[in-house]
């Protein structure tokens, strides 16, 4: 009987300690919500950003239960900010992304700076879902191109209406330019890409023959 009382007392003491430990840890490790944001959360976040500014994310997150400062920042910057564009990507934007990706690769933040209102996440998603296949098709056509001039010394590829175009270093069109100059910048970029690939192809064949 005495042994049973000691066991019961030990169990009660252990349970009490666990309860105290749990109560002590809960303020430091609040439950996080990882699901989609609700309309109410969006409204609260918008009001808090208007009040505290789009930088005090740790402070803002204290007023949105279950959301971390990082989660608040990503939600605002990628979706709720009035500077974010939600319309479909235009043809000109597609051309800019393809040209910039040929130069910068998967540096989405760098590419997004060329597109006002577009976030790096939006650009990345659009590339993976839509533009990646189109860019691969362009590369296939480039490899099949037949050029009479020596590709190591001279190569031109002028778009319609532009004669005697030469290679330039202006790889990415300026988004602030007119549609005509932006299109010309895109073709400049494509000429640069073609020239580089043809040089690599010819150099490889020359090495194999020797």
pLDDT (tens digit per residue) in 4-55: 455 545 444 444 444 433 443 344 556 788 889 999 999 999 999 999 998 8
Return the CATH number at 56: 1.10.10.60
Is 145 part of a structural domain of the chain? no
pLDDT (tens digit per residue) in 51-65: 999 889 999 999 999
Summarize the confidence of residues 160-181 as an average pLDDT.
44
Q: Do 98 and 138 form a contact (C-beta atoms < 8 A)?
A: yes
Q: Which of 107, 136, 165 is the last residue of a domain?
A: 136
Is 191 part of a structural domain of the chain? no
Nearest to 31 by CA among 54, 74, 64: 64
Q: Please provide residue 7's backbone torsions phi and psi, each rounded to the nearest 5 degrees.
A: -65, -45
Summarize the confidence of residues 66-92 as an average pLDDT.
91
Domain count of the chain?
Answer: 2
Name the residue with tokens 């974010």.
84
- Supply the range of the domain harboring residue 47: 32-83
Is 77 part of a structural domain of the chain? yes
- Residue 145: pLDDT band with limits 50, 70, 90: very low
Q: Mean pLDDT score of the chain, rounded to an integer?
A: 71
- Residue 189: pLDDT band with limits 50, 70, 90: confident
Strand ranges in the chain using DSSP code E only, listed in sequence order: none
Q: Do 48 and 77 share a domain, yes or no?
A: yes
Task: Please report which helix (H) or strand (E) contains residue 203, including its range.
Answer: helix 179-209
Is 44 part of a structural domain of the chain? yes
Interatomic CA distance for residues 103 and 95, integer angstroms? 13
Is 91 part of a structural domain of the chain? yes
Say what percent of the chain tops pLDDT 70: 53
CA dihedral 157, 93, 105, 111 (to 10 degrees): 130
């Amino acid at each position: 009987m005495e042994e049973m009382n000691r066991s019961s007392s030990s169990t009660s003491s252990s349970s009490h300690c666990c309860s105290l430990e749990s109560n002590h840890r809960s303020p430091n490790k609040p439950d996080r919500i990882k699901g989609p944001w609700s309309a109410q959360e969006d409204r609260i976040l918008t009001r808090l950003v208007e009040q505290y500014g789009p930088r005090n994310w740790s402070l803002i997150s204290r007023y949105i239960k279950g959301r971390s400062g990082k989660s608040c920042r990503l939600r605002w910057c990628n979706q709720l900010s009035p500077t974010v564009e939600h319309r479909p990507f235009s043809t000109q934007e597609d051309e800019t992304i393809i040209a910039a990706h040929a130069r910068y690769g998967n540096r989405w933040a760098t590419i997004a700076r060329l597109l006002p209102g577009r976030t790096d996440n939006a650009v990345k998603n659009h590339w993976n879902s839509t533009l990646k296949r189109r860019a691969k098709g362009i590369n296939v056509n480039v490899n099949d191109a037949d050029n009479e001039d020596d590709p190591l010394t001279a190569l031109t590829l002028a778009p319609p209406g532009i004669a005697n175009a030469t290679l330039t270093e202006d790889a990415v069109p300026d988004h602030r330019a007119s549609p005509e100059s932006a299109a010309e910048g895109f073709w400049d970029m494509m000429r640069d890409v073609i020239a580089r690939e043809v040089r690599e192809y010819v150099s490889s064949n020359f090495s194999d023959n020797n």
